[in-house]
Amino acid sequence: MRSAPLTLAIGSLVLIGCGLNPDSAPRPIPDVEQRALVDIEFADVGTTGSGRIYLERTDETGRSFLTSVRRELSLDPQTVMTALLTGPTEAEQQEGLRTAVPRDTTLLSARYVATDLVKVDVSSEIFQATGDDLVAAVAQIVLTLAEIDGVERVSLAVDGASVDWPRGDGSLTSEPLTIYDYPGRAVSSQPDYPAIVVAGAQP
């Protein structure tokens, strides 16, 4: 009748020898670790090349619309958003281009959270824009980031908090935004201005 205890004792020694511990079993990955893995996976996604940002202009009828202009930059969310918030060059301003994004808006972060989804966090100064100007500002951000290859959705936060944003039709959504939320907001791009080289871009 001693065979059973002996078998259990041998089994325990085998498990100890294999170095097994309670953490060897499958376990859920905490959200913090998941976000860290995503950051590592997409840390080097950006490439250098000719990108585009969207700016606003008004036509002869008084209608405002968005149009894209070229920038030579690293095609990653942080760099692209920095270029957008910098706004139009002096030459572009003379051509009637402007930005609907309030000048004091600060970029807090811009990063991939999935292969097709970028999360952007900006300061509350973005709310200095109201009504249609706010729609245009959000559309500028979404359309600009969608110029990065593979990016289809943009999650936009303010000071780290989720916000309901206006679509082109005026309805509000807390879901990630896409270019299809702003149909007809942009026109085909105008003839290229000389590309502006953004600091940090590789030749």
In what helix (H) or strand (E) does residue 68 lie, and over which residues does it extend? strand 64-74
When comparing pLDDT for 25 and 44, which is higher? 25
If we measure between CA atoms, which residue out of 184, 108, 118 comes closest to residue 145? 118
**In this structure, are residues 155 and 120 in contact, taking their beta carbons and an 8 Å threshold?**
yes
pTM exceeding the 0.85 threshold for the entire prediction: no
Write out pLDDT tens, residues 99-128: 999 999 999 999 999 999 999 999 999 999
Q: Is the pLDDT of residue 178 over 90?
A: yes
When comparing pLDDT for 200 and 151, which is higher? 151
What mean pLDDT is reported for the chain?
81
Write out pLDDT tens, residues 162-177: 999 999 999 999 999 9
Q: Is the pLDDT of residue 18 over 90?
A: no
Cα distance between residue 193 and residue 71, in whole Å: 9
Q: For residue 187, what pLDDT is reported? A: 84
Write out pLDDT tens, residues 68-78: 999 999 999 99
Percent of the chain topping pLDDT 70: 68
Q: Is the pLDDT of residue 33 over 50?
A: no
Cα distance between residue 3 and residue 5, in whole Å: 6
If we measure between CA atoms, which residue out of 62, 63, 69, 65 comes closest to residue 84? 69
Q: For residue 199, what pLDDT is reported? A: 54
**In this structure, are residues 97 and 69 in contact, taking their beta carbons and an 8 Å threshold?**
yes
Those residues whose C-beta lies under 8 Å from the C-beta of residue 113, and which sit 6 or more positions away, are: 35, 38, 119, 155
